Amino acid sequence: MKHYQSDLTDNQWQFIKNMVEDNRKRKYNLRGILDAILYISKSGCQWRMLPKNFAPWESVYYYFRKWKMNGLLEEIHDFLVGKLRLKKGKEALPSAGIIDSQSVKSSNVCLGEVGYDGGKKVKGRKRHIVVDTLGLLLVVVIHSATHHDSKSAKKVLQALKDKFLGSIKKVFADGGYRGELIDWAKQEFGILLEIVKRNEMSKFKILPKRWIVERTFAWISFQRRNSKDYERLPESSAAFMQIAMIRLMLNHF
């Protein structure tokens, strides 16, 4: 079988094998299915253009949809986040996060949650994320580019609190999150929303903490499938962001 740069190594497969395998007999092995999904993410090709040496695209898509809906992709992602944090000398659960959004153009197949970002002059969707201080993805919410960050952030912070109940104490944000959101986050979730201000508007300056989340967006965009929002459903967009981070984190093991 032909191998691609996006394929899992033996060590990487062993690291997550028990989460994927269930010892059932199948026509196509699940490692090959996962390699095919990683190939789609890295190359950005259409499902129907998947190389013939992988399982048929219908089978690969079936498992992608199944793992997306039953939460397995998110489970693998969160497992790797915890393991990598421990490897880097951190606690498994983060206490601080950094929030930001990215407006991306959508393709003509996208259904729902599509709008126009007047500030960025982009018609499409927003990827609204929170990362930890290492830049690892904690939560992602996909929504219309129309919504302002300070409004849609409530849904993101709710997702963050649901996943890291009692763990997250502080979230860093830029000036777009000023206003009533700061008091709302404190009252509803006990989260301190700290605004990192830009002091010298005429000069380029790397802002403390803020560069970390921007780097994460760059990591995600290295996977060509994420260079634009090609997904029909917002849930698929979120899944491919998790897949991009799974690929990146596995490179550390």
CA distance 122 to 140: 19
CB neighbour list of residue 71: distance below 8 Å, 6 or more residues apart: none
The pLDDT value given to residue 113: 81
Q: How far apart are CA 190 and CA 168, in angstroms?
A: 9
Q: Which residues pair with 99 in a beta bridge?
A: 130
- Looking only at Cα atoms, what is the longest distance across the chain? 63
Helices (H), 44-148: 57-69, 72-87
Question: What dihedral angle (degrees, nearest 10) is formed by the CA atoms of 142, 144, 150, 153?
Answer: -20
* Residue 143 tokens, joined: 């929504």
Q: How far is CA 170 from CA 174, 199, 235, in A?
A: 13, 21, 27
Query: Which residue's entry shows tokens 């253009």?
Result: 49
Q: What is the pLDDT along the chain (253 residues), one digit of tens a residue?
A: 678 999 999 999 999 999 998 878 888 999 999 999 999 999 999 999 999 999 999 999 999 999 999 999 999 999 999 999 999 999 999 999 999 999 999 988 887 788 998 888 999 999 999 999 999 999 999 999 999 888 899 999 999 999 998 899 999 998 889 889 999 999 999 999 999 876 544 454 445 577 899 999 999 999 999 999 999 999 999 999 999 999 999 999 8
Domain ranges of the chain: 10-69, 93-229
Phi-psi region for residue 208, left (φ > 0), alpha (ψ -120 to 50) or beta? beta
Q: How many of the other CB atoms lie within 10 Å of CB of 199?
A: 7
What CATH homologous superfamily does 93-229 map to? Answer: Ribonuclease H-like superfamily/Ribonuclease H (3.30.420.10)
